[in-house]
Structure 1
Amino acid sequence: MLASTTRFATPAVANALLATMPDTVWRGNQMGSQRAVTTPSGFSALDRELPNGGWPASVLIELLLAQPGIGELRLLAPLIASLTQAKKTVILMAPPHIPFAAALAELGIDLTHILLVEAEKPADRIWAIEQALKSASFGALLCWLPQCRADHLRRLQLAAGGGEGLTFVFRPAAAQHESSPAPLRMVCRAAASGQLSVEVIKRRGPVHSQPVILPLAVPAVLDQPFAERRVADILPFTLPVNSRHAVDRPALSATATRYRTALPA
């Protein structure tokens, strides 16, 4: 019988080896590391729970909502404000409701760098999202997908990897029990006093122990009764009819129909 000559690396040697390839190997009890640049969320408590301390670029970020409108735009408002003030385009893809422009402006968002795209059909949304991701000319893409197949998510994750922008996908909270290629997934629920509860259910790192409660900014214009809001508070932020920052449903549907046949099913 031959004696075994296998040698095991000491902890110091193993740690030194792991440090040379942070994108390839990581320990399950430690936060993952990536060479990709991340962007701070604007909430220190949340950044502590995100790998590399911020929102990762070039990947899908899934925000699973108990219901639309619970504060997802206010959660991303610090990021959107930073990007638009840096003259980077932020795309809002098929939001369930038209965002209140005056409230966005009060949060520091430059509306001249907001692009709103509306699409009713799920297939049109997927097509439009893929085209936006291929353009690689946006700062962030926010898309609402109440219905989405797993193969569509894989296509979007692959497309997101080709650019440097931030890609957020809003889906129903029930989707948390479904598999997803997104490396970062969070469940968002309304909390007391207008706050937002954020639970990280998937990340490159240890299991998230408990939700983070985030205080969200509330624009003063939202505290006013609707009947008392002055026209002057709204009109300066209303996009003109011929603005290039809005795409109507008929135009998008017609364009998607012409090109969808060229895409894989």
Structure 2
Amino acid sequence: MAQASANRIISDLRERIQHLEGTAARPKTVLPFGVADIDARLPGGGLAHGALHEFAGGGAGAVDGAAAALFVAGIAARTKGKVVWCLARPDLFAPALAQVGLHPDRVIYVEAIREEYVLEACEEALRFGGLGAVVAETVRLPMVTSRRLQLAAEGSGTMGLVIRRWRRPTEAGDFGHPTAATSRWRISVLPSDPLPVPGVGRARWLAELIRIKAGESADFVIGACDGQGRISISSDAADGSSQTRRSLHSG
């Protein structure tokens, strides 16, 4: 009986704190990928809105992060509203984002003069609310900073998408350090889909779900984002790709 009374008191205190912080009773919504194999692995059937998600390139893409950026752009393209993209390195290629459905008229670019200001701008944009998504490109994501971003996303209901971009491959080991992100992904480039005639098929990626709250890790061989930001499970996933996955994991 004493334990039940204590639990009620704790529950009441939590509700009061949430009310004071303005975070009480916010409905939890998700953004599905529309791919059953992937959505089944995600709590609620999709990427959570009002949460922070972390992405990095794998293999040779650890520095340029091109596949990870396109994967993120495809996610942002399927949200509603403006997208704020915060960066310090002015090498983002807007036409490539448009090819995966994220058109320039939806994007507000915030270019910081120093990388540490990128995450500050990201936090301010997340707290602003009313946006489809907020993207930040950064080398480091300390636990304390990631927690602030997660709380800002929870408070506004906006999806936060952080792309980790390192200056050299040896720095990629930092991705093993824990953060407060709700999910963590690594996106690596695979050989393109084979065609029955000479030519270049649809780009393919290895999408590794390294961590997901209330879920289990997994990896998927997928077709790259189309013009609406949609991905697909590669039809050639079972044809020789297991060896590719092993080599990428070992790298």
1:100 to 93, 101, 110: 93
Structure 1 residue 35, shift from structure 2 partner: 5.6
Does residue 203 of the first structure (1) align with residue 212 of the second (2)? yes
Match of 2:78, SS state, is helix
Distance 2:215 2:119 in 1: 32
Structure 1 residue 134, shift from structure 2 partner: 1.3
Cα pair distance change 1:104/1:188, threshold 3 Å = closer
Distance 1:199 1:106 in 2: 23
Structure 1 equivalent of residue 13 of structure 2: none
Structure 1 residue 96, shift from structure 2 partner: 3.9
Distance 1:97 1:41 in 2: 29
Q: Could you list the runs of 5+ residues in structure 1 that have no partner in the other structure?
A: 1-33, 220-265
Structure 1 residue 89, shift from structure 2 partner: 0.3
1:151 to 144, 154, 165: 144
Distance 2:163 2:99 in 1: 23
Deviations 1:125-154 (A, max 9, x none): 122112111111211111111123222112
Q: Which amino acid aligns with 2:46?
A: G
Cα pair distance change 1:50/1:120, threshold 3 Å = farther
Do 1:58 and 1:167's aligned partners in 2 also have CA atoms closer than 8 Å? Answer: yes
Match of 2:66, SS state, is coil
Which structure has more strand as a fraction of its residues?
A: 2
1:73 to 66, 69, 74: 69
Distance 2:164 2:118 in 1: 13
Match of 1:214, SS state, is strand
Structure 2 equivalent of residue 118 of structure 1: 111
Structure 1 residue 59, shift from structure 2 partner: 1.3
Cα pair distance change 1:181/1:104, threshold 3 Å = closer
Cα pair distance change 1:189/1:96, threshold 3 Å = farther
Q: Which amino acid aligns with 1:145?
A: T
Runs of 4+ residues deviating >4 angstroms: none
Match of 1:36, SS state, is coil
Structure 1 residue 185, shift from structure 2 partner: 1.4
Aligned residues: 182
Cα pair distance change 1:102/1:121, threshold 3 Å = closer
Match of 1:161, SS state, is helix
Cα pair distance change 1:211/1:174, threshold 3 Å = same
Deviations 1:228-249 (A, max 9, x none): xxxxxxxxxxxxxxxxxxxxxx
Do 2:191 and 2:204's aligned partners in 1 also have CA atoms closer than 8 Å? Answer: yes
Cα pair distance change 1:176/1:127, threshold 3 Å = closer
Distance 2:159 2:148 in 1: 16
Do 1:95 and 1:144's aligned partners in 2 also have CA atoms closer than 8 Å? Answer: yes
Q: Which amino acid aligns with 2:178?
A: S
Cα pair distance change 1:43/1:143, threshold 3 Å = farther
Structure 2 equivalent of residue 165 of structure 1: 158
Structure 1 vs Structure 2 CA RMSD:
2.5
Distance 2:117 2:205 in 1: 31
Identity of aligned residues (%): 24
Structure 1 residue 42, shift from structure 2 partner: 4.5
Q: Which amino acid aligns with 2:69?
A: L
Larger radius of gyration: 1
Distance 2:65 2:90 in 1: 8
